[in-house]
């Protein structure tokens, strides 16, 4: 089985359309979306329409649930909050219903998926360091958990009582270890590389691979400005921050 796991599109049609073109050329057994279809970007309806037509398993992100009133806006900074309020006013009823229907988690036989954290997934906590990873490993019943949310690809590895962090582009998985794997972001990477990032899991070979794709960042930036969204949201796309 080959899985493709992706997250955090954030209404970025220019990035998502390139990703869709990639899917036309390469076939996978399963597609799994880890949340945040909307927020920040200029094309929520367009993104959700195409996302809804894919044969995928999916999870809710904090922005998805905030737009439909299932998660409080008090957890967002002013820029993110503004974008959520703009998205609320801009989306169709179809997009609203799609976002409202997104579940908090998804499970496969051999791995678990959630947007932010295994610990209280409805609170959308981040996993950004060894101690946060340790808490989540203590709750992980399977060997592998895939997450998004931070927009930064990377893997926490638990070997016996020790936890390590890896940013290798390819990683062979050992069945004796546990893994929390962040798949990166389609529409707003924040690891200093502005290209689209997602993760391929080859279950037969026990290997994960990160894939990067170029897209028209300038066009996405112009749309954000034209729609009256905060300019910082355009700026950060070009910097990958």
The DSSP output letter for 120 is: S
The DSSP output letter for 174 is: P
The 10s digit of each residue's pLDDT in 49-104 is 999 999 999 999 999 999 999 999 999 999 999 999 999 999 999 999 999 999 99
Contact 207, 196 (CB under 8 A): no
CA dist 79 → 167, 202, 208, 220 (Å): 29, 37, 34, 17
- The vertex-10 CA angle with 17 and 78, nearest 5°, equals 155
Per-residue pLDDT, 99: 98
- The vertex-152 CA angle with 159 and 131, nearest 5°, equals 40
Per-residue pLDDT, 124: 98
Note if the pTM is more than 0.95.
yes
Confidence of residue 155 (pLDDT cuts 50, 70, 90): very high
The DSSP output letter for 121 is: G
- Look up the CATH superfamily of 2-239: Metallo-dependent phosphatases (3.60.21.10)
């Amino acid at each position: 089985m080959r899985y493709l796991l992706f997250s955090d599109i954030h209404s970025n049609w220019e990035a998502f359309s390139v990703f869709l073109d990639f899917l036309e050329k390469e076939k996978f057994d399963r597609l799994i979306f880890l949340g945040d279809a909307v927020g920040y970007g200029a094309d929520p309806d367009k993104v959700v329409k195409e996302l809804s037509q894919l044969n995928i398993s999916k999870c809710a992100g904090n922005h998805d649930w905030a737009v439909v009133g299932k998660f409080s806006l008090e957890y967002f900074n002013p820029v993110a909050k503004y974008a959520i309020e703009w998205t609320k006013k801009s989306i169709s009823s179809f997009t609203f219903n799609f976002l409202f229907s997104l579940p908090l988690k998804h499970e496969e036989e051999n791995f678990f998926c959630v947007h932010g954290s295994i610990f209280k997934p409805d609170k959308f906590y981040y996993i950004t360091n060894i101690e946060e990873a340790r808490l989540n490993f203590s709750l992980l019943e399977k060997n592998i958990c895939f997450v998004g949310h931070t927009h930064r690809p990377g893997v926490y590895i638990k070997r016996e009582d020790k936890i390590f962090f890896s940013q290798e582009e390819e990683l062979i998985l050992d069945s004796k270890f546990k893994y929390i794997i962040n798949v990166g972001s389609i529409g707003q990477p924040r690891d200093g590389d502005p290209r689209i990032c997602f993760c391929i899991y080859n279950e037969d070979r026990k290997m994960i691979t990160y894939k990067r794709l170029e897209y028209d960042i300038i066009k996405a930036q112009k749309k954000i400005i034209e729609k009256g969204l905060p300019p910082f949201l355009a700026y950060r796309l070009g910097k990958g921050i």
